[in-house]
Amino acid sequence: MPRISPGSAGGKNMCAFLDMIAWSEGTSRVKGSDDGYNVLVGGRLFAGYADHPREVIEVRPGLYSTAAGRYQLLARYFDYYKRELNLPDFAPISQDKIAIQQIKERNAIQAISGGHLDDAIRLCANIWASLPGAGYGQHENSIAELADAYCHAGGVSMA
């Protein structure tokens, strides 16, 4: 569950959308993790939230990544958002704020608050490799799987 407060109905959908992303990226399903917030790409855990772990990991031959955290944020993007959002660290609340900012930048907030899940996923597909249509050559989950995770997390979809 994200560390942000659900607040309004739109906020509840945002929390469910964030949970869906964590499920899709596989981080929230890593045994022993802090709901995905301390997961490196590939599934290993990191210790401490003072900074992005900045560990370069070979995902498969020739593909290297610094993705870390619940939403698998690359180190270079963390540096940008840390400055832009005046964040103190890579703690769970900071990770949530970054993910929400990325969603805002894709103009998907209204789709999420309105329960238009398909539209929100389409708008955010180029952020997360596991979303359908991302096109990064990695496993992409289906809309049906994502809708199930979203609903399971308490999101309301207007289909």
145 tagged catalytic = no
CA within 13 Å, CB half, 157: 19
Task: Please tell me the distance from the alpha carbon of residue 24 to that of residue 106, in angstroms, as a whole number.
Answer: 18
H or E element that contains 60: strand 57-60
End-to-end Cα separation, the chain, in angstroms = 23
Tally of CB atoms within 10 A around 11? 15
Buried residues in 75-86 as b, exposed as e (16+ CB within 10 A): bebbeebbeeee
Task: Please tell me the distance from the alpha carbon of residue 68 to that of residue 56, in angstroms, as a whole number.
Answer: 10
Looking at 25, 58, 140, 145, which residue is catalytic? 25
Task: Please tell me the distance from the alpha carbon of residue 66 to that of residue 150, in angstroms, as a whole number.
Answer: 26
- Annotated catalytic residues are 25
